[in-house]
């Protein structure tokens, strides 16, 4: 009898051992999953038809700006509105240039002449544009879109690509 009481007292005195290694493993896995899938930017872009984005491993946040999309049929969309098509042999796409100047003047109350666009470029106060291009487009087309946007007062480009996980 005495032996049982002593055993009972000893078992009450000793702290219970709890193995929390498996719990910590699960918490670390959840933390990694949440950090991997977290996106601090609330930028969402509606893709036009026939547009397949290139892949990228780099993850940077996008900004809210004018969205220029060019699909594999070389149609140009600005803020989800079809404005024209990329033409061969030209440095500047006139329909894209006119639409960007129109957007810039409506947002900033800037005059629409070429000198004001050039002044915005020179001062570095031009606005950024988000550019989404189909992966099958030639560099000539990409350069034409970039050159036209820069001439219209948007010298900063953010290329939107499809992220790989």
pLDDT on residue 112: 45
The residue written with tokens 């079809």 in the block is 82
42 pLDDT higher than 70: no
What tens digit of pLDDT does each residue of 77-113 get? 898 899 988 888 777 888 888 888 888 777 665 444 5
Q: Which of 51-55, 76-80, 143-147 has the lowest mean pLDDT?
A: 51-55
Largest CA-CA distance found in the chain, in angstroms, rounded: 104
Read off the tokens for 21. 């290694």
Residue with the bigger pLDDT between 46 and 138: it is 138
What tens digit of pLDDT does each residue of 10-39 get? 666 666 677 788 888 889 999 988 887 776
By DSSP bridging, strand 55-56 and strand 162-163 are parallel
Read off the tokens for 54. 């290139």
pLDDT on residue 95: 87
């Amino acid at each position: 009898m005495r032996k049982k009481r002593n055993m009972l007292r000893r078992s009450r005195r000793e702290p219970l051992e709890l193995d929390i290694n498996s719990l910590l493993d699960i918490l670390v896995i959840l933390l990694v999953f949440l950090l991997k899938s977290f996106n601090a930017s609330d930028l969402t872009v509606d893709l036009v038809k026939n547009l397949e984005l290139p892949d990228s491993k780099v993850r940077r946040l996008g900004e809210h700006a004018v969205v220029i999309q060019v699909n594999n049929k070389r149609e140009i969309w600005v803020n989800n509105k079809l404005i024209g098509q990329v033409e061969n042999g030209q440095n500047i796409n006139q329909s894209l240039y006119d639409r960007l100047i129109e957007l810039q003047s409506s947002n900033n109350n800037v005059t629409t002449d070429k000198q004001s666009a050039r002044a915005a470029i020179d001062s570095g106060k031009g606005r950024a544009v988000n550019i989404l291009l189909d992966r099958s487009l030639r560099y000539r087309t990409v350069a034409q879109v970039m050159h036209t946007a820069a001439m219209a007062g948007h010298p900063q480009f953010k290329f939107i690509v499809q992220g790989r996980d």
